[in-house]
Amino acid sequence: MAGITRIPGSLAFRVDKHIATVENANESMATTLIPFYSLHDSRHQVYWPQLDKQKFDAYAKKVKKQALQDAELAAKTIDKVTPSQQQPEVEHEFKGDNTRAGVNNGHHWRDAFGWFSYKLSNKDLNAELLRIEYFKHDINRRFVIEVNGELLAEVDLKPHSSQDDFYYIDYPLTQTMKEAKTLELKFHAKPESIAGGIYGIRLMSHPNSIKIQINDKGCRNAAFFTPRKTQSYFHNNSMPWLWPLFFTLKTDSILHYKFSVIR
């Protein structure tokens, strides 16, 4: 294939021609491809679908937008829990009584006929709200949310108008909660009802407190693909042009969008 050369003394290859890049990228950049087995100590994904030029540009814009949204969410998140996943629950000192857990369409959840709790960290005292993710078909469920024994909200889940199956609600913290470095979050079912399901928990700063600026000059891939993930594309043309988007297989050479946090 044109533009692909083997790096002497290794099984790696260098690609320096016909590389698809997002807008304003440095066209002189090259991509290094390494054998898949050499990523055995890293989490990774490899894709080789085909895209023509028009679809590639549209996909790059879509991914750039999603990368910006993910970066903003990450910057505003102080602590988070994925219910029913073992490691996050261990790290956040999960406790509970008469509780259930499972996976719904790839989303982990937990609920309870009794109660369950986690401990969240607010060491810098920047927390402003608690964001809870729900499933829109969980209805007529009544429960109480408490933080450090103080009432945060009484919840009565009703049919939701969200077009997506999952939605979130932000609950502002009281001043006392904001001043605590450790927040014990507890979900307690009301009589003859269920607490949850809870599909995600985020302790967050104020939604408008942080803005992200993106500088993609000289960069070729999106921030939400970590250096341990890869994604590449072939240009669907009469010539076998290689169009990698989210480079590369060589993890130490991956480039990201550059984000600036504005507080």
Q: What is the pLDDT of residue 253?
A: 31
- pLDDT for the residue 232: 37
Q: What is the pLDDT of residue 45?
A: 65
* Residue 96 and residue 178 share a domain: yes
H or E, element range at 57: helix 53-76
Q: Is residue 250 part of a domain?
A: yes
Domain count, the chain: 2
- The radius of gyration of the chain from alpha carbons, rounded to an integer in Å, stands at 23
Looking at the domain assignment, is residue 6 inside a domain?
no
Do the domain assignments include residue 207?
no
In the numeric block, which tokens belong to residue 220? 């070729």
User: What is residue 122's predicted lDDT score, i.e. its pLDDT?
Assistant: 97
121 and 146 co-located in one domain: yes
Domain presence at residue 45 = yes
Amino acid at 17: K
Q: pLDDT in tens for each of the 263 residues of the chain?
A: 667 888 898 888 887 766 555 544 554 556 788 887 777 777 766 665 567 777 877 887 888 888 888 888 999 999 999 999 999 999 999 999 999 999 999 999 999 999 999 999 999 999 999 999 999 999 999 999 999 999 999 999 999 988 999 999 999 999 999 999 999 999 999 999 999 999 999 999 976 666 666 555 434 333 222 233 333 333 333 333 333 333 333 333 333 344 444 44
Query: Do 93 and 190 fall within a single domain?
Result: yes
In a domain, 189, yes or no: yes
Looking at residue 138, what is its pLDDT? 97
pLDDT at 68: 86
Is 17 within a domain? Answer: yes
On whether both 142 and 225 belong to a single domain, the answer is no
Q: What are phi and psi of 86, to 5 degrees?
A: -60, -55
Same domain, 187 and 104: yes
Q: Which domain holds residue 172?
A: 84-198
For 37, counting Cβ atoms within 10 Å of its Cβ (0-12 exposed, 13-18 middle, 19+ buried), the class is exposed
Contact 92, 120 (CB under 8 A): yes
What is the predicted pLDDT for the residue at 246?
A: 33
Q: What is the pTM of this model?
A: 0.68
> How many residues belong to the chain?
263
Write the Ramachandran bin of 149: left for phi over 0, alpha for psi from -120 to 50, otherwise beta.
left
Structure tokens, 67 = 């990368």
- 178: domain CATH number is 2.60.120.260
Q: Tell me: do 117 and 192 sit in the same domain.
A: yes
**78: in domain:** no
Q: How many CA atoms lie within 13 A of 54 on its CB side?
A: 0
Are 51 and 113 in the same domain? no
Can you tell me the distance from the alpha carbon of 108 to that of 158, in angstroms, rounded to the nearest whole number? 21
pLDDT of residue 29: 59
Q: Are residues 137 and 109 in the same domain?
A: yes
Same-domain status, 171 and 110: yes
